Chain A
Amino acid sequence: MVKLFKWLKKYALLIVMLLLLAAPSVTSQYEFYVVQRGVQNAIHVLGLLILIGYSGMLSLGSAALLATGAYTYGILLVKVGLNPWVGAALAVALTTFIGTGLALPAFRLAGPFLVVTTVGFGEIVRILILNMEPITGGAYGLAGFAKLLPSTRWVYYLMVAALFLIAIAVKRIGESRLGLALKSLREDEVAAEVMGVDVRRAKMVSFALSAMLAGLSGVFLANLTGYLSPDSFTAAESASYLLMVVMGGMQSVTGAIVSSIVITSLPEVLRFLSSSRLLVYSLVLLVYLRLNWVRTGKGSLAGLMKTLGFPLGTGRAKDRS
């Protein structure tokens, strides 16, 4: 039993990837669409894994970066008439650039203050999209851009391949010294900087990597839906991405992928609940945290509280002796 568990753990990523490759053949067209969205979300969530899971910087503005990637791709194709691949590359580049800028407030702010800043950023981007109608299509949305590859199925395979490579990269970064430096930000920033970790640079790298993946995910989103609307990029969306990271176990790459796909399909499974869906989300999150708490003694709840910047116990974070 233990052996089987170990084996599963070792090959979990590979198994998930094989299942994903098989998905188009065994699902209905609608189910396939949900899986596609799940994979696309997973790319985004792996970025958040670096930012939130590794580095402990809580962002609730990630949907805005997703929007930046998606809209830049759409606008470059529709309004400028670029080739889809060039458009995609520029979209990812621009999103990375803007996302890296978000690290600036994180130099001085942490915990709830950083959360509020990122929420603010998310709203600004959404409102800009709504109001710059000539470019973005405003509330009517933006449509009419080409896909990277002619068939949806090939876009899907491209996405799965990208997800696989990204998953391995994120995992390796997590195990490397760079990953350790990022994790030290989360645990004890003062100790980290005194041990020679360039805290600002580490924060910038963390924001840059996560923004890059958000941008890429945005490009794929545009490819999947063929239509973009500001409604897909609300703060509530950002919250559900956070949920995906947390449910995936904060630092587990495979966990993040599985939880992204499961949570993406949740609204479809829970469709009958309609507007009380968010309530169910919160309940699921609470139950999960509670269970994890019982299992590990403190585990994720403590981790999340710390991420949110609530001092646990004595508030050691501010103590510098």
Chain B
Amino acid sequence: MVGSTNTAREVLNVKGLTKKFGGLVAVDDLDINVKEGQICALIGPNGSGKTTVLNLITGVYKNDRGVVDFAGQHVQNLPPHTICWKGIARTFQNIRILSSQTVFQNALLGKGYGNGGVSILQTALNTKKYREATAACTEEVDRILEFVGLLDLKNEYARNLPYGKQRILEIARALITGPKLLLLDEPAAGLNSQEIHALMELIKRISERGISILLIEHRMEIVGKLADWVFVLNHGAKIAEGTFDKVKEDPAVIQAYLGRGGR
């Protein structure tokens, strides 16, 4: 896997990315590269700027400096929905599902705004075109829900799902947008070991579908098992990158983690 990625095309190319919050430099001149089909990990101590990087890539925050290229196009500072349409999907560190909607509806939100080219008038009149578009959409959502194993909970309210399943639902919602690149912000946080095992299987299966993945993760055993390539952040700056085995021996990395109380 690692060997083959050398020749693969770049999906995400971040150069010189910088973001300041007042006096705090949250992301500092960061370069990141994700190649097609890779699973990359972004690690670093608490507050090192990992989530901010995702917010910058997905357009939730505007960056101060730098370039984000996705599949050969500049995407930095575009509105978030445009970036989503181009093929970048994400999940959130603190789950952000619509708790008053059903599992199905939550997943459906991944289809974005509108009724798939069907006008409001057609919707109101319940025309054949609208019904067909809706049926196609329903089928697609069902297929993804089956893929992640939530199909039997389809009509349950999202707030009633156990925490682990809510995380999976967020991944399903992201997959429905049809991404080329999936950004996962600590997907294993709060899961038990059984759920973590299932999650890792799911991430591998997503990767097998040809979707590149950038994963933020604190648990080193997950990073070690999944990641082809690892970026290490500290105080917003990249202090190391490479394979997990190489990075974990890096003195700067050890220092960064030890300096915060040895994670």
Which of A198, A209, A321 is in CB contact (< 8 Å) with B93? A321
Q: Interface size bucket, B side?
A: 35 or more
A196→B85 contact, CB < 8 A: yes
In the complex, chain A residues whose CB is within 8 Å of the CB of B177: 195-196
| Alpha-carbon distance A118/B128, docked complex (angstroms) | 38
Q: Nearest Cβ distance between residue B259 and chain A, in whole angstroms? A: 23
Q: CA of A187 to CA of B99 in the docked complex: distance in angstroms?
A: 8
Asked, given contacts A193-B79, A195-B84, whether A173 binds B120 with beta carbons under 8 Å apart, the answer is: yes
Which residues on B sit within 8 Å (CB–CB) of A187? 98-101
Q: For A208, give the chain B residue with the smallest CB separation.
A: B120
Are B116 and A193 in contact (CB-based, < 8 A)? no
Mark B46-64 against chain A: 1 for CB-CB distance below 8 A, else 0.
Answer: 0000010001001111000
Docked pose: A196 CA to B55 CA in angstroms: 14
A239 contacts the other chain (CB 8 A): no
Which residues of chain B (112-135) have a CB below 8 Å from chain A? 112-116, 120, 123-126, 130, 134
Q: Is B109 interfacial (CB 8 A cutoff)?
A: yes
> Any chain B CB within 8 A of the CB of A159?
no
CA distance A319 to B94 in the complex (A): 9
Cα distance, A243 to B177, chains bound together (Å):
38
B window 126-170: CB within 8 A of A: 126, 130, 134, 137
- Docked-complex contact B185 and A321, CB < 8 angstroms: yes
Chain A 160-189, CB-CB to B under 8 Å as 1, else 0, gives 000000001100110011101101100110
Any A CB within 8 A of the CB of B111? yes
How far does the Cβ of A300 sit from chain B's closest Cβ, in whole Å? 12
Asked whether any CB of chain A lies closer than 8 Å to the CB of B108, the reply is yes
CA distance A188 to B106 in the complex (A): 12
CB <8 Å contact, A195 and B126: no
Q: Beyond A173-B120, A180-B105, A187-B100, is A197–B94 a contact (Cβ under 8 Å)?
A: no
Docked pose: A168 CA to B121 CA in angstroms: 12
CA distance A295 to B129 in the complex (A): 40
B122 to chain A, nearest CB (A): 10
Q: Which of A30-38, A78-86, A199-207, A276-284 contacts B (4 or more CB under 8 A)?
A: A199-207
Bound-state CA distance A172–B89 (Å) is 28
Q: Does B188 contact A (CB under 8 A)?
A: no
- CB of B124 within 8 A of CB of A191, answer no
Known: A178-B114, A187-B98, A321-B185. A192 touches B123 (CB 8 A): no
Nearest CB in chain B: distance from A196 CB, A: 3
Task: Given A187-B99, A195-B177, decide whether A172 and B112 contact each other with a Cβ distance below 8 A.
Answer: no
A193 to B113, CA, bound (A): 9
Instruction: Report if B92 contacts A (CB, 8 A).
Output: yes
Interface residue? B97 (CB, 8 A)? yes
C-alpha gap A321/B105 in the complex (Å): 22
Say yes or no: A176 contacts B98, CB within 8 Å: no
What residue of chain A has the Cβ atom nearest to residue B54's Cβ?
A: A321
Contacts of B89 in A (CB 8 A): 194-195
Candidates B60, B105, B113; contact of A178 at CB < 8 Å: B113
Given known pairs A319-B94, A321-B185, the reply for A197 and B81 (CB within 8 Å) is yes
B115 near A178 (CB under 8 angstroms)?
yes
B225 within 8 Å of A by Cβ?
A: no
Contact indicator B110/A172 (Cβ below 8 Å)? no
A131 CB, min distance to chain B CBs, angstroms:
36
Asked if B109 and A197 sit within 8 Å, CB to CB, the answer is yes
In angstroms, Cα B192 to Cα A63, docked, is 54
A289 to B51: give the CA distance in the assembly, Å.
Answer: 38
B173 at the interface (CB under 8 A from A): yes
In the complex, A198→B58 CA distance in Å?
A: 14
A6 interface residue per 8 A CB criterion? no
Q: Are B123 and A196 in contact (CB under 8 A)?
A: no
Q: Which residues of A contact B97 (CB under 8 A)?
A: 191
Complex contact A172–B126 (CB within 8 A): yes
Q: Does A98 contact B (CB under 8 A)?
A: no
The 8 Å CB contact of B173, one of A195, A199, A202, A321, is A195
Contact across chains for B96 and A181 when beta carbons are under 8 A apart: no
Q: Is the CB of B100 within 8 A of A194?
A: no
Task: Decide if A194 touches B80 in the complex (CB within 8 Å).
Answer: yes
Give the complex CA separation of A199 and B80 in angstroms: 9
A residues 200-256 near B (Cβ < 8 Å) are 201-202, 205, 209
CA distance A320 to B55 in the complex (A): 8
B90 at the interface (CB under 8 A from A): yes
Any B CB within 8 A of the CB of A316: yes
Q: When A and B form their complex, which 4 residue pairs have the shortest distance between CB atoms, in order from nearest?
A: A196-B112, A169-B124, A196-B84, A191-B96
User: Which A residues fall within an 8 A CB radius of B?
Assistant: 168-169, 172-173, 176-178, 180-181, 183-184, 187-188, 190-199, 201-202, 205, 209, 316, 319-321
Please list 23 pairs of residues, one from A and one from B, whose beta carbons are closer than 8 Å in the complex, sorted by A's number.
A169-B124, A169-B125, A176-B123, A177-B108, A177-B115, A177-B137, A180-B105, A187-B98, A187-B100, A187-B101, A193-B79, A193-B80, A194-B58, A194-B59, A195-B81, A196-B81, A196-B110, A196-B177, A199-B81, A316-B94, A321-B55, A321-B94, A321-B185
Q: B interface vs A, CB < 8 Å? A: 51, 55, 58-61, 79-81, 84-85, 89-90, 92-94, 96-101, 105, 108-116, 120, 123-126, 130, 134, 137, 173-174, 177, 185
Q: A194-B60, A196-B177, A209-B120 are in contact. List 20 more A-B contacts (CB 8 A).
A: A172-B126, A173-B123, A176-B134, A177-B111, A177-B114, A177-B115, A177-B116, A180-B109, A187-B99, A187-B101, A191-B97, A193-B80, A194-B80, A195-B81, A196-B84, A196-B110, A196-B113, A202-B113, A320-B55, A321-B92
